[in-house]
Amino acid sequence: MMLGLSLKGVSKSFGHITAVEPTDLSFPKGELTALLGPSGCGKTTLLRMIAGLEAPTRGTILLGGEDITTHPAHKRKFGMVFQSFALFPHYSVRENVAYSLVIGGMGKAAACKKANALLETVQLGGFGDRRIGELSGGQRQRVAIARALAQEPEVFLLDEPMSALDAKLREEMQVELRLLQQRLGITTIVVTHDQREAMTMADQIVVMSNGRIEQIAPPQEIYHQPANTFVADFIGKANFFDGIVVEGGVTVGDTHLTTQANFQSGSPVQIAIRPERAAMDDEGGANRVAAKVMFVRDLGPLREYHLQSDIGPMIVEYAVGETGPTLSTGDATTVRLPPEAIQVFPRAAPK
Ligand code: ATP
């Protein structure tokens, strides 16, 4: 593998607040990494340290093996797109993109030519003469992307790039940006609190909470094999139950569930099951739990059954077209929890 960007023991404190705990992290060359986590988890601080806008309290930042920890932002050849886009409102689209090239010493004609080519790349070919105020949110974002790419950056950094866009446009731009990133093969880091955005765009997702990394893995692995309850809860939906490990499984209250977990008998655990992995069908086998339908949520492509079961409240989800039950509020049913679909996590014993 070619060398990308990496962090070794990088941390950041603001006074007594630790924004980022000591962190080791690799960003493989040509891949897109999403830094994902709730507000305040430290993802923006991590990105700003990579960009050179914030000095790490400790640790080393390496690019292609070279220590760049103390290089100032403008020496890093990193392109950055901010949440607000930070465009010059009174300049034309072309001038916005050409600006940094001219500042960098390129002749005006050459800079305009290059800006035009970049605007083609982001599908804004005919927009060079417009003012920023005459553009939609999605178009502004494309200008910000073209401007960031003008420097031919070695690393492309985006801080919540979609947050100024409405939901539909946001999804379109996620796909478009991912395709552009793959076409250019540029090492990219995207900060987001939106798990769907991270799943859509990333080769690897770094899930953070409280300044710590909870898991680093490709999107599918994050979803199907979450490292802990924080990740299982933050990415997608999950039903959680407290239990105790017994021979061959876990007991939740009086109910014995067969699981594939490997913990010592008597250990307190929390089990998680995704709503689409629980089933209400006539198939026999282990782990059948009686339940009553409390609410049916019809979302078009999905139908969610909110149940009160023998082990607690639970949501079971069916995609339209799947052979699922047709149940109404008040109906009695039985939920089947396939052992291989039950994830088991350690739990601190109650005091
Ligand atoms: P958001 O999605 O809300 O931007 P985030 O995950 O990007 O959140 P950061 O902005 O990195 O989080 O902040 C992490 C922590 O560090 C927070 O507790 C924040 O209050 C604190 N923090 C960030 N910048 C500073 C600063 N300049 N001075 C003091 N504390 C800061």
pLDDT at 62 over 80: yes
Predicted complex ipTM: 0.94
- Mean pLDDT within 23-28: 95
Q: How far apart are the CA of 40 and the centre of ligand 1, in A?
A: 5
Q: How far apart are the CA of 18 and the centre of ligand 1, in A?
A: 9
- Mean pLDDT within 122-130: 90
Instruction: List the domain boundaries for the chain.
Output: 5-231, 237-346
Measured CA to CA, the distance from residue 213 to residue 218 in angstroms comes to 14
Structure tokens at 185: 């093969």
CATH 3.40.50.360 fits 5-231, yes or no: no
Q: How far apart are the CA of 20 and the centre of ligand 1, in A?
A: 9
Which atom of ligand 1 has the smallest separation from the CA of 191? 7
Q: From residue 206, give the alpha-carbon distance in Å to each of 13, 18, 190, 241, 281.
A: 20, 18, 10, 26, 37
Which atom of ligand 1 has the smallest separation from the CA of 41? 6
Q: How far apart are the CA of 19 and the centre of ligand 1, in A?
A: 6
Which atom of ligand 1 has the smallest separation from the CA of 15? 29
Around ligand 1, the residues with Cβ closer than 6 Å are: 14, 17, 19, 37, 39-45, 193
Measured CA to CA, the distance from residue 216 to residue 104 in angstroms comes to 37
Q: How far apart are the CA of 128 and the centre of ligand 1, in A?
A: 36
Q: How far apart are the CA of 16 and the centre of ligand 1, in A?
A: 13
Which atom of ligand 1 has the smallest separation from the CA of 54? 27
Nearest CA to ligand 1 atom 16: 19
Report percent pLDDT > 70 for the chain: 98
Give the pLDDT band of residue 1 (cuts 50, 70, 90). very low
Q: How far apart are the CA of 42 and the centre of ligand 1, in A?
A: 6
Nearest CA to ligand 1 atom 7: 44
The answer for residues whose C-beta is within 8 angstroms of residue 189's C-beta and 6 or more apart is 5, 27, 32, 33, 34, 35, 47, 50, 155, 156, 157, 158
| 220-278 tens-digit pLDDT | 999 999 999 999 999 999 999 999 999 999 999 999 999 998 889 999 999 999 999 99
pLDDT at 2 over 60: no
Question: E-assigned strands of 129-267?
Answer: 155-159, 187-192, 204-209, 212-217, 239-246, 249-252, 255-258
Q: What is the pLDDT of residue 195?
A: 94
CATH 3.20.20.70 fits 237-346, yes or no: no
Q: What is the pLDDT of residue 27?
A: 95
Least confident of 84-88, 183-187, 218-222: 84-88
Which atom of ligand 1 has the smallest separation from the CA of 47? 11
Average pLDDT, rounded, for the chain: 92
Q: Which has the closest alpha carbon to 40: 168, 193, 228?
A: 193
Q: What is the pLDDT of residue 32?
A: 97
Measured CA to CA, the distance from residue 208 to residue 234 in angstroms comes to 10
Measured CA to CA, the distance from residue 142 to residue 121 in angstroms comes to 9
The pair phi, psi for residue 19, each rounded to 5°, is: -80, -40
| CB of 179 closer than 8 Å to CB of 9 | no
The pick from 12, 20, 44 for probing ligand 1's pocket by mutation, whose C-beta has the most ligand atoms within 8 angstroms, reads 44
pLDDT at 3 over 70: no
Q: What is the pLDDT of residue 86?
A: 82
Q: How far apart are the CA of 39 and the centre of ligand 1, in A?
A: 8
Q: pTM for this structure? A: 0.90
Give the pLDDT band of residue 350 (cuts 50, 70, 90). low
Measured CA to CA, the distance from residue 189 to residue 150 in angstroms comes to 17
Report percent pLDDT > 90 for the chain: 69
Q: What is the pLDDT of residue 170?
A: 86
